[in-house]
């Protein structure tokens, strides 16, 4: 393909080259650091309550603990969110929905497993109707507790932010 740009002649696929250049640039310092810093302070969890830890999750977004000061805003639309909180037990019926929700979220996306049940079933470890989240989703941070206190939720957010800023989690694939 030959494109004409302000009178100059360019040879090759311009779109592909631009994509390649952007992908190269966004993985280079300092652009990468700025990008990760930006992502780490705009973590929007999707409103997806899987079990009873949702009560403490709601409390952590409420005035006393105010997770919004960490750039953490529970939001309705899946397509605008980049964080999935597994709030407690994941039943078999809910696991299906969790995968749908996860797949609809845009990249880069993160998963936090909240509560003992999200780690290894917790008090319901031998129940016939639960799924361990790490079997079906890539979980980045676990929060122990039954239920975890809102402080622990804030701690998890900070841990996730650090992980993102260290550049461990965000990878753009060149397509």
DSSP-assigned beta bridge partners for residue 72? 43
Q: With the C-alpha atoms ordered 43, 32, 134, 80, is the resulting torsion angle positive or negative?
A: positive
Q: Which two tokens stand for residue 111?
A: 């998963």
Q: Which of 123, 168, 172, 174 binds another protein (CB under 8 A)?
A: 123
DSSP symbol at 126 = T
> Site map for another protein, 152-171, x if CB under 8 A?
--------------------
Pairing of strands 8-11, 2-5: antiparallel
Q: Which of 5, 7, 79, 128 binds another protein (CB under 8 A)?
A: 128
String of DSSP letters for 48-117 = ---STTHHHHHHHTSTTT-GGGGTB--BS-GGG--EEEEES-EEHHHHHHHHHHHHHSPSS-EEEEESHH
CB of residue 18 to another protein, shortest distance in Å: 36
CB of residue 157 to another protein, shortest distance in Å: 18
Q: Is 112 in the site for another protein (CB under 8 A)?
A: no
CB of residue 161 to another protein, shortest distance in Å: 23
CB of residue 103 to another protein, shortest distance in Å: 12
Q: Is 102 in the site for another protein (CB under 8 A)?
A: no
Beta carbon nearer to another protein, 45 or 164: 45
Residues 12-51 that bind another protein (CB under 8 A): 46-51
CA distance 78 to 32: 25
CA distance 165 to 70: 14
Q: Is 135 in the site for another protein (CB under 8 A)?
A: no
Q: Is 94 in the site for another protein (CB under 8 A)?
A: yes
**Contacts to another protein by CB under 8 A:** 46-56, 58-59, 62-64, 76, 78, 89, 91-94, 96-97, 101, 123-124, 126-130, 146-147, 149
């Amino acid at each position: 393909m030959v494109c004409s740009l302000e009178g100059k002649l360019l040879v090759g696929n311009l779109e592909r080259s631009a994509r390649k250049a952007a992908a190269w640039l966004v993985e280079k310092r300092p652009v990468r650091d700025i990008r990760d810093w930006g992502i780490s302070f705009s973590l929007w969890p999707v409103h997806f309550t899987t079990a009873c830890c949702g009560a403490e999750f709601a409390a952590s977004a409420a005035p006393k603990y105010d997770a919004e000061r960490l750039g953490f805003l529970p939001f309705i639309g899946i397509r605008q969110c980049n964080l999935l909180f597994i709030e407690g037990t994941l039943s078999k019926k809910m696991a299906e929905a969790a995968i749908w929700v996860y797949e609809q979220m845009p990249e880069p996306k993160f998963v936090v497993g909240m509560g003992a049940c999200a780690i290894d079933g917790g008090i319901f470890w031998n129940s016939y109707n639960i799924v361990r989240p790490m079997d079906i989703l890539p979980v980045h941070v676990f929060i122990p507790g039954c239920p975890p206190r809102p402080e622990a939720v804030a701690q998890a957010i900070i841990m996730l932010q650090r992980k993102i800023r260290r550049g461990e989690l965000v990878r753009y694939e060149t397509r």
